[in-house]
Amino acid sequence: MKSYSMKIIILLIYIFSSVEIVNASTQEFKHTALLEANVDREETHLENLLSQARSGNLLSQYAVAGLYFKQHDYNNAAYWYNLAENNKVADVVLIDANFYYYAFKRAEVPFLVNQQGFPTRVIFSFLNVLNDIVLHHPNAMVIVVTDYYYPSSSKKAYEQALKNLEGIEDIQATSKRETSRHKQFPEYKANRVTTPKEIKISQYLLSKIIQAYGYPIIFVPQVEADDVIATLTNHAVADDYKVVIASIDKDFTQLVNDEVTMYDPKFGPKDAKRVKTIYGAYPDQMVDYLSLMGDKADNIPGIPGIEKEVVVQWLEKYQTMDVLLENTDFIQEDYAHELIQHASQLEMARTLITLNESIELNVPWEYLSQDKEKIKNIMAIYQQLELKKHLTYLKNRPYFQAENEAMVLAQNRLGWMYKNGKGIDKNNGLAEKWYKKSAKRGDSEAQYYLGQIYLEQNDQERGYFWIKKAAKNGHQEAKELLKSK
């Protein structure tokens, strides 16, 4: 598929996500969060922290490493920082918003409404997904990708709809409209129904909630969200990030590898091994598998009358669809006839199903850092919708922030230890790696030292890019360096 050059619409937002924590574990989480925040004054709690860290508590592992670092015990600090970083499931989580909007509408979920009769099922369920993601992927950079963008002109219509739903039709979304796939195959997704009212109003309101929290929402005109997710995944892996795609859309299975997994709260994680168990094909065979089977969800036809077991056997024996088509003389005659007759259709299906990983998106991760939250705005929305469960979740927000801050500090310190050979062998490549992770999260000290690394490599452009970022974020040495330049 072609690569498109277009203006990307990015809303810098930050959705709140949290987890339901029973009283006992809340106190434990609070205790470790406070320890990390007061690491200078809490050295007497090392044994208690070590016990929690050994049991796998991520924040405790960061806190233990921090205590050792403060004591200049760099060997133990490096051990626990590396252990905590390696225990992370993901650096980046990409949420397929469109999938969840419609999944909750189709699912057998009670039709929830508030006292005014406003539908809250999709909103409530979507927020539950986000809460679960934070629980299983702490500290990950979460990005929401959608096919719909609601301009500010929809505000009046939304406020009317919030009262009596009569204004829903007036809420106009900017959608992806016709994509390259529609041009190639006009019947592509022709089986999709018009967006139901409940989803339409929920999409708009969720975009406002997301905006209030500060997670990025990405919408690209005339490009499907699936291709945007594929491209972001490709960029993230190239930047040495572990990626989780929050969706169970089988199209994403083609992206799964050692660095990329799929996740859904209901079905759990999906790695390459699980893809093989479910479909009988490996991730790098999934495009051929779906081309042969067809994809009803997208209205893409497959080989008429073909069964899954037959397709799995073919892929086990021939590995790819191309090799299969070269060996039709050796398979059952009626199947061979269908394959030959539908060869051009199979090629078209493969093109439609293959995700484009090279959309021209100028979205450096450092520009997707979190904005300041507007908790009061979120609370007002939750109160209006009577989302009592999610109002309760807001109280736990500081503890998740503490964990995120501990991670950024850990990455900065790992960069310093590798740069100076403290507790671990000196390694400029790994120093650059860890400084970069912390710098992209907005840490001014990491930005300054990353810039210094690039300047030492005579890479003036990247060096001063990060020095300027550090200075803008208040780093004094960076400011002085720019003044003397």
Residue 128: per-residue pLDDT: 83
Measured in degrees and rounded to the nearest 5, phi and psi for residue 11 equal: -105, 120
**Farthest-apart Cα atoms in the chain, separation:** 79
List domains and CATH numbers for the chain: 1-223+360-426 (no CATH), 280-353 (1.10.150.20), 443-485 (no CATH)
Q: Which long-range contacts (CB under 8 A, 24 or more apart) does 273-280 make?
A: 279/250, 279/253, 279/308, 279/312, 280/308, 280/309, 280/311, 280/312, 280/315, 280/316
- Full pLDDT tens readout for the chain, 485 residues: 444 334 444 333 322 222 222 222 333 333 344 444 444 444 455 677 787 778 777 777 888 888 888 888 999 888 888 888 777 668 889 999 877 766 655 554 555 667 777 778 788 888 888 777 766 776 678 888 988 765 544 455 445 544 444 444 444 444 555 677 777 777 777 766 666 677 777 777 788 777 776 677 888 888 889 999 999 999 999 888 889 999 989 999 999 999 999 987 777 789 999 999 999 999 999 999 999 998 887 878 888 888 999 999 999 999 999 999 999 999 899 889 999 999 999 999 999 999 999 988 766 565 454 444 556 677 777 787 788 777 777 655 555 556 667 778 888 899 999 999 998 899 999 999 889 888 887 889 999 999 999 999 999 999 999 999 999 999 999 999 999 87
Q: What is the pTM of this model?
A: 0.71
Cβ neighbours around 347 below 10 Å, total: 14
Nearest to 197 by CA among 223, 226, 221, 162: 162
Radius of gyration of the chain (CA): 25
Q: To 10 degrees, the CA torsion angle through 230, 236, 238, 239?
A: 170
Residue 106: per-residue pLDDT: 52
For 142, 143, 147, 185, 213, the CA distances from 12, given in Å and listed in that order, are 11, 10, 16, 34, 9
Q: Are 397 and 18 in contact (CB under 8 A)?
A: yes
Residue 110: per-residue pLDDT: 55
Q: Are 127 and 175 in contact (CB under 8 A)?
A: no
Sheet holding 243-246, edge to edge: 9-11, 217-219, 141-145, 92-96, 243-246, 260-264, 268-270
The DSSP letter of residue 422 is: S
Q: Are 32 and 63 in contact (CB under 8 A)?
A: yes
Q: Are 481 and 468 in contact (CB under 8 A)?
A: no
Residue with token string 């300027």: 468
Q: How many CA atoms lie within 13 A of 423 on its CB side?
A: 22
